[in-house]
Protein backbone atom coordinates (compact mmCIF):
# COMPACT_ATOMS: atom_id res chain seq x y z
CA UNK A 1 0.00 0.00 0.00
CA UNK A 2 1.07 3.61 -0.47
CA UNK A 3 1.57 5.34 2.86
CA UNK A 4 2.05 9.11 3.13
CA UNK A 5 3.12 8.91 6.77
CA UNK A 6 2.78 6.08 9.26
CA UNK A 7 4.22 8.28 12.02
CA UNK A 8 1.15 10.19 13.24
CA UNK A 9 -1.45 9.63 15.96
CA UNK A 10 -1.56 6.24 17.71
CA UNK A 11 1.04 3.66 16.77
CA UNK A 12 0.13 0.49 18.67
CA UNK A 13 2.90 -1.92 19.65
CA UNK A 14 1.60 -5.45 20.26
CA UNK A 15 3.51 -8.31 21.89
CA UNK A 16 4.77 -11.09 19.66
CA UNK A 17 3.36 -14.44 20.84
CA UNK A 18 6.12 -17.04 20.88
CA UNK A 19 6.95 -20.22 22.73
CA UNK A 20 9.85 -20.79 25.09
CA UNK A 21 12.10 -21.64 22.13
CA UNK A 22 11.35 -18.36 20.36
CA UNK A 23 9.02 -19.85 17.73
CA UNK A 24 6.45 -17.22 16.75
CA UNK A 25 2.80 -18.23 16.97
CA UNK A 26 1.58 -16.55 13.80
CA UNK A 27 -2.10 -17.42 14.34
CA UNK A 28 -2.12 -15.75 17.75
CA UNK A 29 -0.21 -12.80 16.35
CA UNK A 30 -2.87 -12.36 13.68
CA UNK A 31 -5.64 -12.34 16.29
CA UNK A 32 -3.86 -9.54 18.16
CA UNK A 33 -3.35 -7.57 14.95
CA UNK A 34 -6.99 -7.97 13.92
CA UNK A 35 -8.02 -6.28 17.18
CA UNK A 36 -5.78 -3.31 16.38
CA UNK A 37 -7.07 -2.99 12.82
CA UNK A 38 -10.68 -3.21 14.00
CA UNK A 39 -10.06 -0.47 16.56
CA UNK A 40 -8.70 1.86 13.88
CA UNK A 41 -5.18 2.54 15.13
CA UNK A 42 -3.08 4.75 12.85
CA UNK A 43 -0.22 2.25 12.56
CA UNK A 44 1.07 -0.97 14.08
CA UNK A 45 4.59 -1.17 15.52
CA UNK A 46 5.59 -4.76 14.85
CA UNK A 47 8.69 -6.19 16.54
CA UNK A 48 9.24 -3.33 18.94
CA UNK A 49 10.69 -3.84 22.41
CA UNK A 50 7.39 -5.26 23.66
CA UNK A 51 7.42 -7.38 20.52
CA UNK A 52 10.62 -9.06 21.80
CA UNK A 53 12.58 -8.31 18.62
CA UNK A 54 15.88 -8.58 20.46
CA UNK A 55 15.10 -12.17 21.49
CA UNK A 56 14.07 -13.54 18.08
CA UNK A 57 16.16 -14.99 15.28
CA UNK A 58 16.19 -13.45 11.83
CA UNK A 59 14.07 -16.34 10.57
CA UNK A 60 11.40 -15.86 13.23
CA UNK A 61 11.32 -12.12 12.74
CA UNK A 62 10.74 -12.67 9.03
CA UNK A 63 7.94 -15.16 9.77
CA UNK A 64 6.31 -12.57 12.02
CA UNK A 65 6.51 -9.85 9.35
CA UNK A 66 5.19 -12.13 6.61
CA UNK A 67 2.30 -13.25 8.79
CA UNK A 68 1.51 -9.68 9.81
CA UNK A 69 1.52 -8.39 6.23
CA UNK A 70 -0.83 -11.19 5.18
CA UNK A 71 -3.12 -10.68 8.17
CA UNK A 72 -3.29 -6.87 8.09
CA UNK A 73 -3.68 -6.87 4.30
CA UNK A 74 -3.16 -3.15 3.92
CA UNK A 75 -5.74 -2.09 6.51
CA UNK A 76 -3.16 -0.34 8.72
CA UNK A 77 0.47 0.64 8.01
CA UNK A 78 3.02 -1.76 9.48
CA UNK A 79 6.13 -0.21 11.03
CA UNK A 80 8.66 -3.03 11.53
CA UNK A 81 11.56 -3.01 13.97
CA UNK A 82 14.91 -3.78 12.33
CA UNK A 83 17.25 -3.25 15.27
CA UNK A 84 20.27 -5.55 15.64
CA UNK A 85 23.67 -5.51 17.27
CA UNK A 86 25.59 -5.68 13.97
CA UNK A 87 25.06 -3.33 11.06
CA UNK A 88 25.06 -6.14 8.51
CA UNK A 89 22.37 -7.94 10.50
CA UNK A 90 20.26 -4.78 10.64
CA UNK A 91 20.68 -4.43 6.87
CA UNK A 92 19.52 -8.04 6.38
CA UNK A 93 16.48 -7.47 8.59
CA UNK A 94 15.67 -4.27 6.73
CA UNK A 95 15.76 -6.03 3.38
CA UNK A 96 13.65 -8.85 4.78
CA UNK A 97 11.02 -6.41 6.03
CA UNK A 98 10.87 -4.52 2.75
CA UNK A 99 10.64 -7.70 0.68
CA UNK A 100 7.87 -9.04 2.93
CA UNK A 101 5.75 -5.91 2.41
CA UNK A 102 6.35 -3.71 5.46
CA UNK A 103 5.34 -0.06 5.11
CA UNK A 104 8.03 1.52 7.28
CA UNK A 105 10.96 0.77 9.57
CA UNK A 106 11.83 1.44 13.19
CA UNK A 107 15.54 1.32 14.00
CA UNK A 108 17.24 1.39 17.38
CA UNK A 109 21.03 1.66 17.74
CA UNK A 110 21.38 -1.61 19.63
CA UNK A 111 24.81 -1.89 21.22
CA UNK A 112 27.00 -3.79 23.66
CA UNK A 113 30.08 -1.61 23.38
CA UNK A 114 28.69 1.94 23.70
CA UNK A 115 28.47 3.57 20.28
CA UNK A 116 29.89 6.93 19.36
CA UNK A 117 27.67 9.46 17.60
CA UNK A 118 29.52 8.81 14.32
CA UNK A 119 29.14 5.04 14.66
CA UNK A 120 25.40 5.43 15.12
CA UNK A 121 25.20 7.74 12.11
CA UNK A 122 27.02 5.26 9.88
CA UNK A 123 24.80 2.45 11.17
CA UNK A 124 21.65 4.33 10.19
CA UNK A 125 23.14 5.40 6.88
CA UNK A 126 23.87 1.78 5.95
CA UNK A 127 20.30 0.73 6.74
CA UNK A 128 18.78 3.57 4.72
CA UNK A 129 20.90 2.54 1.74
CA UNK A 130 19.53 -1.01 1.97
CA UNK A 131 15.83 -0.11 1.60
CA UNK A 132 13.58 2.66 0.34
CA UNK A 133 11.12 2.47 3.23
CA UNK A 134 10.50 5.52 5.44
CA UNK A 135 12.30 5.09 8.74
CA UNK A 136 11.67 6.17 12.32
CA UNK A 137 14.64 6.60 14.65
CA UNK A 138 14.10 4.62 17.85
CA UNK A 139 15.65 6.75 20.61
CA UNK A 140 15.45 4.43 23.61
CA UNK A 141 18.45 4.96 25.90
CA UNK A 142 16.84 2.86 28.63
CA UNK A 143 17.51 -0.31 26.63
CA UNK A 144 20.20 0.69 24.11
CA UNK A 145 22.30 2.83 26.49
CA UNK A 146 22.81 5.26 23.62
CA UNK A 147 21.65 8.87 23.64
CA UNK A 148 21.18 10.80 20.43
CA UNK A 149 22.65 14.28 20.45
CA UNK A 150 20.63 17.06 18.83
CA UNK A 151 23.40 17.35 16.25
CA UNK A 152 23.08 13.67 15.37
CA UNK A 153 19.31 13.90 15.01
CA UNK A 154 19.79 16.88 12.72
CA UNK A 155 22.30 14.96 10.56
CA UNK A 156 20.04 11.93 10.38
CA UNK A 157 17.03 14.06 9.44
CA UNK A 158 18.91 15.13 6.31
CA UNK A 159 18.79 11.52 5.01
CA UNK A 160 15.81 11.38 2.69
CA UNK A 161 14.10 8.29 4.04
CA UNK A 162 14.50 9.14 7.75
CA UNK A 163 11.19 10.80 8.54
CA UNK A 164 10.51 10.49 12.27
CA UNK A 165 11.90 9.95 15.74
CA UNK A 166 10.43 7.99 18.62
CA UNK A 167 11.60 9.87 21.70
CA UNK A 168 11.81 8.87 25.37
CA UNK A 169 10.09 11.08 27.91
CA UNK A 170 12.17 14.20 28.64
CA UNK A 171 13.86 14.09 32.04
CA UNK A 172 12.64 17.59 32.88
CA UNK A 173 9.12 16.89 31.52
CA UNK A 174 9.46 19.93 29.25
CA UNK A 175 7.70 18.51 26.20
CA UNK A 176 6.99 21.87 24.64
CA UNK A 177 10.59 23.01 24.96
CA UNK A 178 11.95 19.76 23.54
CA UNK A 179 9.47 19.74 20.67
CA UNK A 180 10.32 23.33 19.78
CA UNK A 181 14.06 22.60 19.84
CA UNK A 182 13.72 19.48 17.69
CA UNK A 183 11.48 21.20 15.17
CA UNK A 184 13.92 24.08 14.90
CA UNK A 185 16.81 21.79 13.96
CA UNK A 186 15.14 18.82 12.19
CA UNK A 187 12.25 18.10 9.86
CA UNK A 188 11.34 14.93 11.72
CA UNK A 189 7.88 13.92 12.86
CA UNK A 190 8.20 13.61 16.62
CA UNK A 191 6.48 11.00 18.75
CA UNK A 192 6.98 9.66 22.25
CA UNK A 193 7.08 6.33 24.02
CA UNK A 194 6.87 5.94 27.79
CA UNK A 195 3.13 5.45 28.06
CA UNK A 196 2.62 7.30 31.34
CA UNK A 197 3.81 10.54 29.68
CA UNK A 198 1.74 10.16 26.53
CA UNK A 199 -1.13 12.42 27.60
CA UNK A 200 1.11 15.40 28.28
CA UNK A 201 3.25 14.72 25.20
CA UNK A 202 0.24 14.76 22.88
CA UNK A 203 -1.33 17.77 24.59
CA UNK A 204 2.00 19.55 24.08
CA UNK A 205 1.88 18.96 20.35
CA UNK A 206 3.68 15.66 19.71
CA UNK A 207 2.83 14.04 16.38
CA UNK A 208 2.49 10.47 17.63
CA UNK A 209 2.21 8.16 20.60
CA UNK A 210 4.19 4.93 20.21
CA UNK A 211 2.11 2.96 22.64
CA UNK A 212 2.64 -0.26 24.56
CA UNK A 213 -0.85 -0.18 26.04
CA UNK A 214 -2.24 0.46 22.58
CA UNK A 215 -1.14 -3.03 21.61
CA UNK A 216 -3.65 -4.56 24.03
CA UNK A 217 -6.19 -1.81 24.74
CA UNK A 218 -6.30 0.02 21.42
CA UNK A 219 -9.73 1.62 21.85
CA UNK A 220 -8.77 3.25 25.16
CA UNK A 221 -5.41 4.38 23.78
CA UNK A 222 -7.01 5.73 20.61
CA UNK A 223 -9.64 7.63 22.58
CA UNK A 224 -6.91 9.29 24.64
CA UNK A 225 -4.89 10.10 21.52
CA UNK A 226 -7.89 11.57 19.70
CA UNK A 227 -8.88 13.71 22.67
CA UNK A 228 -5.35 15.01 23.17
CA UNK A 229 -4.78 15.86 19.51
CA UNK A 230 -8.12 17.72 19.54
CA UNK A 231 -6.93 19.70 22.58
CA UNK A 232 -9.56 18.26 24.91
CA UNK A 233 -7.48 18.34 28.06
CA UNK A 234 -10.26 17.30 30.43
CA UNK A 235 -11.11 14.14 28.49
CA UNK A 236 -7.43 13.32 27.96
CA UNK A 237 -6.70 13.55 31.67
CA UNK A 238 -9.84 11.56 32.53
CA UNK A 239 -8.68 8.68 30.37
CA UNK A 240 -5.12 9.02 31.61
CA UNK A 241 -6.49 8.76 35.15
CA UNK A 242 -8.07 5.39 34.32
CA UNK A 243 -4.69 4.20 33.12
CA UNK A 244 -2.69 5.34 36.15
CA UNK A 245 -2.85 1.99 38.01
CA UNK A 246 -1.54 0.28 34.88
CA UNK A 247 1.23 2.87 34.49
CA UNK A 248 2.25 2.08 38.08
CA UNK A 249 2.64 -1.63 37.26
CA UNK A 250 4.70 -0.71 34.17
CA UNK A 251 7.08 1.25 36.38
CA UNK A 252 7.24 -1.39 39.08
CA UNK A 253 7.58 -4.55 36.96
CA UNK A 254 8.61 -3.37 33.49
CA UNK A 255 6.03 -3.03 30.73
CA UNK A 256 7.09 -6.20 28.91
CA UNK A 257 6.35 -8.41 31.94
CA UNK A 258 3.01 -6.67 32.49
CA UNK A 259 1.96 -6.99 28.85
CA UNK A 260 2.77 -10.69 28.64
CA UNK A 261 0.90 -11.26 31.89
CA UNK A 262 -2.14 -9.52 30.40
CA UNK A 263 -2.02 -11.50 27.17
CA UNK A 264 -2.21 -14.62 29.29
CA UNK A 265 -4.82 -13.61 31.88
CA UNK A 266 -7.08 -12.02 29.25
CA UNK A 267 -6.81 -15.23 27.18
CA UNK A 268 -5.70 -13.32 24.08
CA UNK A 269 -2.97 -15.85 23.29
CA UNK A 270 -0.67 -18.38 24.89
CA UNK A 271 2.67 -16.67 25.34
CA UNK A 272 5.87 -17.16 27.26
CA UNK A 273 8.45 -14.54 28.09
CA UNK A 274 11.82 -15.25 26.51
CA UNK A 275 14.39 -16.38 29.06
CA UNK A 276 16.02 -15.05 31.11
CA UNK A 277 12.85 -12.98 31.71
CA UNK A 278 10.54 -14.62 34.22
CA UNK A 279 6.75 -14.31 34.58
CA UNK A 280 5.20 -12.40 37.46
CA UNK A 281 4.14 -14.30 40.57
CA UNK A 282 0.48 -14.77 41.58
CA UNK A 283 0.18 -11.65 43.76
CA UNK A 284 1.74 -9.39 41.16
CA UNK A 285 -0.39 -10.95 38.40
CA UNK A 286 -3.51 -10.15 40.41
CA UNK A 287 -2.34 -6.59 40.88
CA UNK A 288 -1.94 -6.24 37.12
CA UNK A 289 -5.40 -7.68 36.50
CA UNK A 290 -6.92 -5.30 39.07
CA UNK A 291 -5.22 -2.38 37.32
CA UNK A 292 -6.87 -3.09 33.97
CA UNK A 293 -10.32 -4.07 35.20
CA UNK A 294 -11.81 -0.60 34.39
CA UNK A 295 -10.31 -0.79 30.89
CA UNK A 296 -11.71 -4.14 29.84
CA UNK A 297 -15.29 -2.92 29.47
CA UNK A 298 -14.13 0.04 27.37
CA UNK A 299 -12.63 -2.32 24.78
CA UNK A 300 -15.90 -4.09 24.06
DSSP state of 124: H
Distance separating the N- and C-terminal Cα atoms of the chain:
29
Instruction: Let me know if 112 is a catalytic residue.
Output: no
Question: Which entry of 138, 192, 210, 260 is annotated as an active-site residue?
Answer: 138
C-alpha span between 109 and 127 (Å, rounded):
11
Instruction: Let me know if 166 is a catalytic residue.
Output: yes
> For residue 14, is it left (φ>0), alpha (ψ between -120 and 50) or beta?
beta
Alpha helices for 169-253 (secondary structure H): 175-185, 198-203, 218-229, 233-253
C-alpha span between 3 and 8 (Å, rounded):
11
Quickly count: other Cβ atoms within 10 Å of residue 98's Cβ: 19
β-strand pairing of 135-138 with 189-192: unpaired
DSSP one-letter string for 276-293 = T--PPPHHHHHHHHHHHH
Question: Which entry of 53, 121, 166, 260 is annotated as an active-site residue?
Answer: 166
Residues noted as catalytic: 138, 166
Amino acid sequence: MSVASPFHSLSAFPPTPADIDGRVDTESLCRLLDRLCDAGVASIGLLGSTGIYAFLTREERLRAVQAAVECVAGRVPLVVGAGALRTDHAVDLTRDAEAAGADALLLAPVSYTPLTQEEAYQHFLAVTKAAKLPLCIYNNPGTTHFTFSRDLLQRLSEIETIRAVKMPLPVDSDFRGELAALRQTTNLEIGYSGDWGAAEALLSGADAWYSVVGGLFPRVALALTTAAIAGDRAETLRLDGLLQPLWKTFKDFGSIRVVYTLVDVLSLAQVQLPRPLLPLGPMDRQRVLDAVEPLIALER
